[in-house]
Amino acid sequence: MAKLRARSDREPDPIRAAERDLRTATRLRRRRERREQRRFTVHTRRRRRYWLIAAGAVVALALFVAIGVLSPLMAVRDIRVTGASSVDAAKVKDALGRFDGVPLALVDDGEVHRVLADFPLIQRYAIERIPPGTLVVQVEERIPAITVAKGKKFETYDPAGVLVGTADKRPAGVPLATGAASSPGSPAFAASAKIVRDMPDALRKQLASVTASSGQDVRFTLTNGLEVLWGEATETQKKSAVLQALLTGLKGRSVQKIDVSAPNAPVYN
Tell me whether strands 207-212 and 176-179 are parallel, antiparallel or unpaired.
Answer: parallel
- pLDDT at site 67: 65
The one-digit pLDDT tens for each residue of the chain (269 residues) are 444 454 455 566 777 777 777 788 788 788 887 777 777 676 677 777 777 788 777 776 766 666 666 677 889 999 999 999 888 999 999 999 999 999 998 999 999 999 999 998 899 999 999 998 999 999 999 989 999 999 999 999 999 999 988 999 998 889 999 999 999 999 999 999 999 999 999 999 999 999 999 999 999 999 999 999 999 999 999 999 999 999 999 888 889 999 999 999 999 99
- pLDDT at site 43: 65
SS3 125: strand
- pLDDT at site 10: 56
- pLDDT at site 69: 63
- pLDDT at site 70: 67
Class of domain 72-141: alpha beta
Q: Which CATH number fits domain 146-268: 3.30.1280.10, 3.90.1150.10, 3.40.50.2020, 3.40.50.11690?
A: 3.40.50.11690
What CA–CA distance (Å, rounded) separates 72 from 53? 29
- pLDDT at site 146: 97
Domain boundaries, the chain: 14-61, 72-141, 146-268
- pLDDT at site 174: 95
What count of other Cβ atoms lies within 10 Å of the Cβ of residue 64? Answer: 10
Quick one: which of 197, 194, 193 has its CA closest to 176?
A: 193
